[in-house]
Protein backbone atom coordinates (compact mmCIF):
# COMPACT_ATOMS: atom_id res chain seq x y z
CA UNK A 1 0.00 0.00 0.00
CA UNK A 2 1.52 3.34 -0.97
CA UNK A 3 0.63 6.37 1.05
CA UNK A 4 1.91 9.76 2.03
CA UNK A 5 2.10 10.45 5.71
CA UNK A 6 0.81 13.94 6.40
CA UNK A 7 2.76 15.99 8.91
CA UNK A 8 0.71 15.84 12.08
CA UNK A 9 1.50 18.13 14.98
CA UNK A 10 0.40 17.35 18.51
CA UNK A 11 -2.27 20.04 18.10
CA UNK A 12 -3.51 18.31 14.93
CA UNK A 13 -3.76 15.03 16.82
CA UNK A 14 -5.62 16.68 19.69
CA UNK A 15 -8.10 18.24 17.26
CA UNK A 16 -8.58 14.94 15.46
CA UNK A 17 -9.14 13.19 18.75
CA UNK A 18 -11.88 15.62 19.71
CA UNK A 19 -13.51 15.31 16.29
CA UNK A 20 -13.61 11.51 16.64
CA UNK A 21 -15.52 11.70 19.93
CA UNK A 22 -18.79 11.77 18.04
CA UNK A 23 -17.82 9.37 15.28
CA UNK A 24 -18.00 5.59 15.21
CA UNK A 25 -14.90 3.48 15.81
CA UNK A 26 -14.95 2.49 12.14
CA UNK A 27 -14.28 6.12 11.18
CA UNK A 28 -11.23 6.20 13.46
CA UNK A 29 -9.92 2.96 11.95
CA UNK A 30 -10.55 4.23 8.41
CA UNK A 31 -8.61 7.41 9.13
CA UNK A 32 -5.69 5.53 10.70
CA UNK A 33 -5.44 2.97 7.90
CA UNK A 34 -5.67 5.68 5.22
CA UNK A 35 -3.09 7.81 6.99
CA UNK A 36 -0.45 5.27 7.98
CA UNK A 37 -0.96 2.27 5.70
CA UNK A 38 1.47 -0.56 6.36
CA UNK A 39 3.26 1.44 8.98
CA UNK A 40 0.29 0.97 11.30
CA UNK A 41 -0.27 -2.10 13.44
CA UNK A 42 -2.75 -3.36 16.01
CA UNK A 43 -1.82 -4.55 19.48
CA UNK A 44 -3.96 -6.95 21.45
CA UNK A 45 -3.90 -8.71 24.81
CA UNK A 46 -6.18 -11.44 23.42
CA UNK A 47 -8.94 -10.72 25.91
CA UNK A 48 -11.18 -10.73 22.86
CA UNK A 49 -11.01 -10.19 19.12
CA UNK A 50 -13.16 -7.06 18.95
CA UNK A 51 -10.51 -4.63 17.71
CA UNK A 52 -9.11 -7.18 15.27
CA UNK A 53 -12.61 -7.86 13.91
CA UNK A 54 -13.24 -4.15 13.48
CA UNK A 55 -9.88 -3.36 11.86
CA UNK A 56 -9.76 -6.30 9.45
CA UNK A 57 -13.07 -5.17 7.93
CA UNK A 58 -11.15 -2.08 6.79
CA UNK A 59 -7.64 -3.47 6.34
CA UNK A 60 -7.36 -7.25 5.84
CA UNK A 61 -3.80 -8.46 6.34
CA UNK A 62 -2.86 -5.86 8.95
CA UNK A 63 -0.06 -6.72 11.36
CA UNK A 64 -1.37 -7.67 14.79
CA UNK A 65 1.12 -7.66 17.65
CA UNK A 66 0.63 -9.97 20.61
CA UNK A 67 3.24 -9.81 23.35
CA UNK A 68 4.04 -13.26 24.65
CA UNK A 69 5.58 -12.93 28.09
CA UNK A 70 5.90 -16.70 28.48
CA UNK A 71 3.58 -16.35 31.48
CA UNK A 72 0.20 -16.29 29.77
CA UNK A 73 -2.74 -18.49 30.65
CA UNK A 74 -3.33 -21.38 28.25
CA UNK A 75 -6.70 -19.81 27.45
CA UNK A 76 -4.99 -16.63 26.25
CA UNK A 77 -2.67 -18.54 23.94
CA UNK A 78 -5.65 -20.52 22.63
CA UNK A 79 -7.50 -17.26 21.99
CA UNK A 80 -4.50 -15.98 20.03
CA UNK A 81 -4.65 -19.09 17.85
CA UNK A 82 -8.39 -18.74 17.37
CA UNK A 83 -8.09 -15.07 16.38
CA UNK A 84 -5.25 -15.91 14.00
CA UNK A 85 -7.30 -18.63 12.31
CA UNK A 86 -10.45 -16.58 12.12
CA UNK A 87 -9.18 -13.26 10.78
CA UNK A 88 -7.00 -12.21 7.83
CA UNK A 89 -4.11 -10.86 9.88
CA UNK A 90 -0.38 -11.07 9.99
CA UNK A 91 0.05 -12.15 13.60
CA UNK A 92 3.35 -11.07 15.07
CA UNK A 93 4.14 -12.71 18.39
CA UNK A 94 6.59 -10.47 20.21
CA UNK A 95 8.33 -12.76 22.68
CA UNK A 96 9.74 -11.30 25.85
CA UNK A 97 13.39 -12.14 26.45
CA UNK A 98 13.58 -14.27 29.59
CA UNK A 99 16.08 -13.21 32.22
CA UNK A 100 17.69 -15.82 34.54
CA UNK A 101 15.26 -14.80 37.28
CA UNK A 102 11.84 -13.84 35.86
CA UNK A 103 10.99 -10.18 36.33
CA UNK A 104 7.78 -11.02 38.17
CA UNK A 105 9.95 -12.58 40.89
CA UNK A 106 12.95 -10.27 40.86
CA UNK A 107 11.15 -6.97 40.35
CA UNK A 108 7.36 -7.36 40.39
CA UNK A 109 6.72 -3.62 40.56
CA UNK A 110 8.58 -2.98 37.31
CA UNK A 111 7.92 -6.34 35.70
CA UNK A 112 5.62 -5.05 32.96
CA UNK A 113 7.96 -2.20 32.12
CA UNK A 114 10.97 -4.47 32.03
CA UNK A 115 9.26 -7.19 30.03
CA UNK A 116 6.28 -6.05 27.99
CA UNK A 117 7.25 -2.48 27.21
CA UNK A 118 10.65 -3.50 25.85
CA UNK A 119 9.00 -6.12 23.63
CA UNK A 120 6.46 -3.57 22.39
CA UNK A 121 9.20 -1.03 21.67
CA UNK A 122 10.90 -3.61 19.46
CA UNK A 123 7.66 -4.61 17.73
CA UNK A 124 6.90 -0.99 16.92
CA UNK A 125 10.24 -0.33 15.26
CA UNK A 126 9.59 1.05 11.77
CA UNK A 127 5.96 1.88 12.56
CA UNK A 128 4.44 5.34 12.55
CA UNK A 129 1.31 4.48 14.48
CA UNK A 130 -0.34 1.70 16.50
CA UNK A 131 -3.85 0.88 17.58
CA UNK A 132 -4.88 -0.54 20.92
CA UNK A 133 -8.16 -1.70 22.40
CA UNK A 134 -7.86 0.63 25.40
CA UNK A 135 -11.21 1.89 26.67
CA UNK A 136 -12.04 4.62 29.17
CA UNK A 137 -14.42 2.24 30.87
CA UNK A 138 -11.54 -0.13 31.69
CA UNK A 139 -10.44 1.80 34.77
CA UNK A 140 -10.42 5.29 36.35
CA UNK A 141 -6.79 5.65 35.22
CA UNK A 142 -8.05 5.49 31.64
CA UNK A 143 -11.05 7.79 32.03
CA UNK A 144 -9.45 10.61 30.06
CA UNK A 145 -7.70 8.52 27.42
CA UNK A 146 -7.70 10.31 24.07
CA UNK A 147 -8.78 8.57 20.89
CA UNK A 148 -5.68 9.81 19.08
CA UNK A 149 -2.45 11.01 20.69
CA UNK A 150 1.31 10.84 20.43
CA UNK A 151 3.07 8.33 22.65
CA UNK A 152 6.41 8.71 24.38
CA UNK A 153 8.16 7.13 21.37
CA UNK A 154 6.81 9.86 19.10
CA UNK A 155 4.43 7.41 17.40
CA UNK A 156 0.74 8.10 16.90
CA UNK A 157 -1.37 5.99 19.19
CA UNK A 158 -4.95 5.29 18.20
CA UNK A 159 -7.59 3.97 20.58
CA UNK A 160 -10.65 3.39 18.34
CA UNK A 161 -12.64 1.83 21.20
CA UNK A 162 -11.86 4.53 23.76
CA UNK A 163 -15.48 5.62 24.11
CA UNK A 164 -16.96 2.11 24.20
CA UNK A 165 -18.77 0.88 27.29
CA UNK A 166 -18.71 -2.74 28.47
CA UNK A 167 -22.18 -3.02 26.94
CA UNK A 168 -20.90 -1.80 23.57
CA UNK A 169 -18.27 -4.53 23.60
CA UNK A 170 -20.78 -7.22 24.57
CA UNK A 171 -23.16 -6.07 21.86
CA UNK A 172 -20.40 -6.14 19.21
CA UNK A 173 -19.22 -9.57 20.33
CA UNK A 174 -22.75 -10.96 20.06
CA UNK A 175 -23.52 -9.27 16.74
CA UNK A 176 -20.35 -10.45 15.03
CA UNK A 177 -19.73 -13.68 16.95
CA UNK A 178 -16.30 -12.44 17.99
CA UNK A 179 -13.95 -14.85 19.82
CA UNK A 180 -13.57 -14.07 23.52
CA UNK A 181 -10.97 -15.43 25.91
CA UNK A 182 -12.76 -18.16 27.95
CA UNK A 183 -11.34 -16.64 31.14
CA UNK A 184 -13.73 -13.70 30.76
CA UNK A 185 -16.64 -16.04 31.54
CA UNK A 186 -14.78 -17.02 34.73
CA UNK A 187 -14.64 -13.43 35.91
CA UNK A 188 -11.21 -12.43 34.57
CA UNK A 189 -12.32 -9.15 33.03
CA UNK A 190 -8.82 -7.83 32.37
CA UNK A 191 -6.30 -10.47 31.47
CA UNK A 192 -2.57 -10.26 31.98
CA UNK A 193 -0.11 -12.97 33.03
CA UNK A 194 -0.76 -15.92 35.34
CA UNK A 195 1.31 -14.69 38.30
CA UNK A 196 -0.54 -11.40 38.71
CA UNK A 197 -4.03 -11.80 37.25
CA UNK A 198 -7.08 -12.81 39.29
CA UNK A 199 -10.81 -12.60 38.65
CA UNK A 200 -12.12 -9.06 39.07
CA UNK A 201 -13.49 -8.20 42.49
CA UNK A 202 -17.25 -7.79 42.77
CA UNK A 203 -18.21 -4.23 41.87
CA UNK A 204 -14.59 -3.04 41.86
CA UNK A 205 -14.01 -2.69 38.13
CA UNK A 206 -12.51 -4.88 35.42
CA UNK A 207 -8.91 -4.24 36.37
CA UNK A 208 -9.33 -4.95 40.09
CA UNK A 209 -7.94 -8.43 39.51
CA UNK A 210 -4.61 -7.16 38.19
CA UNK A 211 -1.32 -6.95 40.08
CA UNK A 212 -2.83 -7.54 43.52
CA UNK A 213 -3.22 -3.80 43.98
CA UNK A 214 0.51 -3.09 43.47
CA UNK A 215 -0.35 -0.74 40.59
CA UNK A 216 -3.10 0.00 38.07
CA UNK A 217 -1.33 0.17 34.72
CA UNK A 218 1.12 -2.12 32.95
CA UNK A 219 3.18 0.58 31.30
CA UNK A 220 2.06 -0.11 27.73
CA UNK A 221 -0.43 2.73 27.95
CA UNK A 222 1.44 5.19 30.11
CA UNK A 223 1.84 7.85 27.50
FE1 LIG B 1 4.90 -9.16 34.68
FE2 LIG B 1 2.35 -9.44 35.46
FE3 LIG B 1 3.08 -7.56 33.68
FE4 LIG B 1 3.07 -10.16 33.03
S5 LIG B 1 1.26 -8.88 33.55
S6 LIG B 1 4.64 -8.67 32.49
S7 LIG B 1 3.81 -11.10 34.98
S8 LIG B 1 3.67 -7.67 35.87
- 180, 49 contact by CB (below 8 A): yes
Pairing of strands 156-158, 129-131: parallel
Q: Is the CB of 115 under 6 A from ligand 1?
A: yes
Average of per-residue pLDDT across 108-113? 78
Q: Is the CB of 104 under 6 A from ligand 1?
A: yes
Non-local CB neighbours of 105 within 8 Å, separated by 6+ positions: none
CA 171 to chain CA centroid, Å, is: 19
80 C-alpha to center of ligand 1: Å? 18
Architecture category of domain 10-184 in CATH? 3-Layer(aba) Sandwich (3.40)
56 C-alpha to center of ligand 1: Å? 28
Q: Is the CB of 120 under 6 A from ligand 1?
A: no
> Which is the closest atom of ligand 1 to the Cα of 218?
3
Q: Is the CB of 192 under 6 A from ligand 1?
A: yes
CA 205 to chain CA centroid, Å, is: 18
Q: How confident is the model at residue 1 (pLDDT cuts 50, 70, 90)?
A: very low
5 C-alpha to center of ligand 1: Å? 35
Q: Is the CB of 220 under 6 A from ligand 1?
A: no
CA nearest to 32, candidates 73, 63, 69, 66: 63
pLDDT in tens, 127-184: 999 999 999 998 888 999 999 999 999 999 999 999 999 999 999 999 999 999 999 9
Average of per-residue pLDDT across 199-206? 78
Q: Is 218 a catalytic residue?
A: yes
- What pTM did the predictor assign? 0.91
193 C-alpha to center of ligand 1: Å? 5
pLDDT at residue 219 in the model:
61
Amino acid sequence: MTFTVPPLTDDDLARLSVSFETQPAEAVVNWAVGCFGDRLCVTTSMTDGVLVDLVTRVRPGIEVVFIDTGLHFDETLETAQTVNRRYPIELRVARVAEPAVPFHLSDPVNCCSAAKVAALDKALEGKLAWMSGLRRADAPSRADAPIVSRDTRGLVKVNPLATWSDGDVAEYVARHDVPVNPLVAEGYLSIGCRPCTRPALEGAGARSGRWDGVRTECGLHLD
